Each structure stands twice: as structure tokens, then as C-alpha cells.
Amino acid sequence: MNNFIFENATKVYFGKGCVKEYLSCKVKPYATVMLAYGGGSIKRNGVYDEVTGILKAAGKNIVEFSGIMANPTYAKVQEGAKLARENHVEMILGIGGGSVMDCCKAVSLAARYAGDIWEDFWAHPGVIDFEPLPLGVIVTVAGTGSECNGGAVITNEEKKVKTGRDYPRLNPQFALLDPTYTYSVPVKQMISGGFDILSHIMETYFSEPNEDNVSDDIMEALMRSVIRNLRAAIRNPEDYTARSNLMWDATMAENRVIKMGKKCDFECHNMEHQLGAYTNCNHGCGLAVLHPVYYRHIYRDGLPKFIRFAENVWGISRDGRSDEALALAGVEALASFIKEIGLPTTLRELGMTDQTVLKEIADSCGISAGSYRKMTHEEILQIFHECFE
């Protein structure tokens, strides 16, 4: 195994009723709390009333920061930071999915920083040598795992760049995870979030080292869990066991545990982020289109791992297949699963109509140093074309 240092600063409170039980105690030290959320789902499903009721009963001044969009923009971050400064906010409470959590992390940094956080942290990663505003999160959709890491993905619309950074200082101080809060997530978004979880695990699994290591073993169990529980949650969206497992799968995929000793790929994420920067496509849906095509390009370069994937994740037996055929059968099982659960399989289905922009998008993609075969911008363009229809 490669050397590593492990730390995770977020305290997690998991399970039905956890908000009612722990929120007032977690906000105790702060007089003014910024309540940050998205487009209003929390008002429709009762979470807003529950949370504001708890904050008001605890005598907090509430500063509302609403309308955080999917794929949060740098402009929205600046709006939140200004609001936080003007109202002397002492902590941020983000309620939602990855978009809300990521935006809140960036706001927590920007509110305490005089310079331009895009230039100093997102465009050119810098060292955070000050304390961002304390952040707590209440997760309402399983997917990104942003609740338990310092990662935040922000879109700079002007520059047409969507990019993420992971700073340990941006880890939320606490995360409240009540699986029943995810019951109201539309099925399409639940599936997209579920695929994002699977993608995070695959992007880590399909990278060096290939020899026996704890991370790969944990990941095989996690991938089987995501596949099984996503199917169960599609059958019955209020299956508490399935929703609980998916919620914790999401956290486990991105709380850094499985990344220990792994190089990590994340080339599909690089590609999807730039597709998102140009088209504002849904993150999990974009990943679903890209993954099988990308893996058909690289499976020969990571053959032993792709064979393990076929056998240990999809339960495919060799049945006289060659190594290559067995590895490819695993990739095709993934492609069938994507179809089975109703995710898009082409860029056209994602809403793209114009292929001419693909070159510009391909040229803007980051190149991962951890993939089984280092991509070139030409090969990324080829992948995009193969994904088109």
C-alpha cells in the first residue's frame, strides 16, 4: 500500500430523527446562523419548518440565503459571502445536496477572506491559513458525499470552468443525515445521485495500486451495496433500509477512507465537470453517459482490476472467456445497469444538439495523473463523439 495520512474532522449524526435530537445542541455557541438552501424543496417537504422551528426555539437570529442552484456559481458564492459579512453571521447551516453544501463551503471561505477566492483557491490552489466560517450541514439527497469532506465544486460562468478543490479546513463541523429526508427526492434525481456514488467509487477503484489493499476490498462491498440498494429504492422510494444504505454509501465513498493508498482517476469527473460548465447538465446523468465509453477505452490498461470488477461486483463467471472478454463483460454489465435504472446513455439524451462545441469542451478538460492510461485531449474528444448518440 502507498503511504498516507488520514483525518476526517466532520462529526456525523445519522438516522431518523437526528435533526430534532441534535441540531439545537450543535448550534448552541452561535447567535446568528445563516440558513442556506436551494430552490425550495425543503419548504415543500417540511424540513424548512422543522429546522426553523428548532432554531427559533433556541433563540437564534436567522439569516436566510436561498436559491442556491444546481451546479452553484461563483456569483452565488459572492452573494452569500456578502450576506454573511453584512449580517455578522457566525455559522452557516446548509440544507440540501451537493450544490448547497459546496456553495456553503465556498461561502464559508469567502466570507472570511479579503481577496478573490476563485483566483487564490479554485483556479490556483492555495493554502488556507485562516479559519473559514463554521459550517454544519443537513443532507437531503444522497450522492456527492460532500457532507464529510472539504471538497467543493464551483462553476465560474464567465470563465466557463467548473472545478473542485478539497481543503480539509472546509470539512463541515457536523453533518446530520436523516434518510427519511431523502424520501421526497424525485426518482430521476435519486438515480442520478446513486450513480454519482457509484462513480466516485469506480473512479477510485480503477487506479493503482492493483495489488491486495484494504481500499479495493471496501470498494467492492460498497459498489455491490449501491447497486442493490438503488434497485430497492427504485422499487420502493420509502424503503428506509435502502435509503439509509445509499446515504451512508455516499458518505463512505467520499469521506476519504477508500482513497487511502490509492492514486485515484477522476478523469470522468474532469470530463463531466467541463460538460457541466458548458451545458449545465445534471452531474450524475453526465457521468452515466461517459463512464462505459471511457472504460471501453481504458480497460486493457487496467485489465486485472477490470477482471475483479466483473467477477466481484457483477458476479460474472469466467465461463471460458479470455481475460479481455471477461473484463469487457464487467463494463457491459455497468452499461446495462445504467439503462436498467433509466439513466441517459448519450449526450443527445442529455440535451446536447450541437457537436461542434465538443472540441472546445474536450480541450478544456483536466488530465488526470492517476488514470490507468493518461488521456490526451484528442482521445477525450473521441470519447465525447462516441457518447454523442
Would you tell me which residues interact with ligand NZQ (CB under 6 A)? 38-42, 45, 70-71, 96-100, 102, 140-141, 143-146, 149, 151-153, 164, 181-182, 184-185, 189, 193, 196, 254, 269, 283-284
Which of these segments, 189-197, 204-212, 233-241, 380-388, binds Zn ion (CB under 5 A)? 189-197
Looking at residues 32 to 61 of the shown chain, list those that interact with Zn ion (rule: CB under 5 A): none
* Least distance in angstroms from the C-beta of 30 to ligand NZQ: 23
Cβ proximity to ligand NZQ, 254 vs 267, nearer residue: 254
Q: Applying CB under 5 A, which part among 194-202, 241-249, 253-261, 377-385 lies near Zn ion?
A: 194-202
Name beta bridge partners: 164: 153
Return the C-alpha cell found at 222: 460498497
Beta strand 161-166 with 151-156 is antiparallel
- Which residue is closest to Zn ion by CB? 196
Binding residue for Zn ion, selected from 147, 178, 196, 203, defined by CB under 5 A: 196
Q: Are 123 and 80 in contact (CB under 8 A)?
A: no
Q: Considering only CA atoms, which of 151, 389, 384 is closest in space to residue 275?
A: 384
Number of H helices, E strands in the chain: 15, 8
> Could you say which of Zn ion, ligand NZQ, none residue 71 binds, taking C-beta under 5 to 8 angstroms by partner kind?
ligand NZQ
| Burial track 358-380 (b if 16+ CB lie within 10 A, e otherwise) | beebbebbbebebbbeebeeebb
In whole angstroms, how close is the CB of 316 to ligand NZQ at the nearest point?
Answer: 27
- Looking at beta carbons only, is 10 or 146 nearer to Zn ion? 146
Q: With binding defined as CB under 5 A, does residue 265 bind Zn ion?
A: no
Residue 50's alpha-carbon distances to 63, 91, 172, in angstroms, are 16, 19, 21
Q: Which three cell numbers stand for residue 142?
A: 444522497
| Least spacing, CB of residue 135 vs ligand NZQ, in Å | 12
* CB atoms inside a 10 Å sphere around CB 45: 17
Least separation in angstroms between CB 35 and Zn ion: 25
Residues 6+ apart with CB under 8 A from 198: 223, 226, 227, 230
Is the Cβ of residue 117 or residue 327 nearer to ligand NZQ in the bound state? Answer: 117
Distances (CA, A) of 194 to 43, 83, 153, 197, 242: 23, 33, 18, 5, 11
Other CB atoms within a 10 A radius of the CB of residue 70 amount to 18
Angle at 186 (CA atoms; ends 258, 244), nearest 5 degrees: 40
Minimal CB distance residue for ligand NZQ: 38
102 near Zn ion, rule: CB under 5 A: no
Shortest distance, position 288 Cβ to ligand NZQ, whole Å: 12
Distances (CA, A) of 32 to 19, 22, 93, 372: 18, 18, 10, 48
Instruction: Pick one of Zn ion, ligand NZQ, none as the site partner of residue 77 (Cβ within 5 to 8 A by kind).
Output: none
Q: Taking the complex as a whole, how short is the minimal distance between the CB of residue 205 and ligand NZQ, in angstroms?
A: 15
Residue placing its CB nearer to ligand NZQ in the complex, 225 or 270: 270
Tell me the window of 105-113, 192-200, 304-312, 371-379 that interacts with Zn ion (CB under 5 A).
192-200
Please report whether residue 254 would count as binding Zn ion according to CB under 5 A.
no
Least Å distance between CB 87 and ligand NZQ?
A: 22
Nearer to Zn ion, 196 or 267 (CB): 196
Rg of the chain in Å (alpha carbons): 21
Residues forming the site for Zn ion (CB under 5 A)? 196
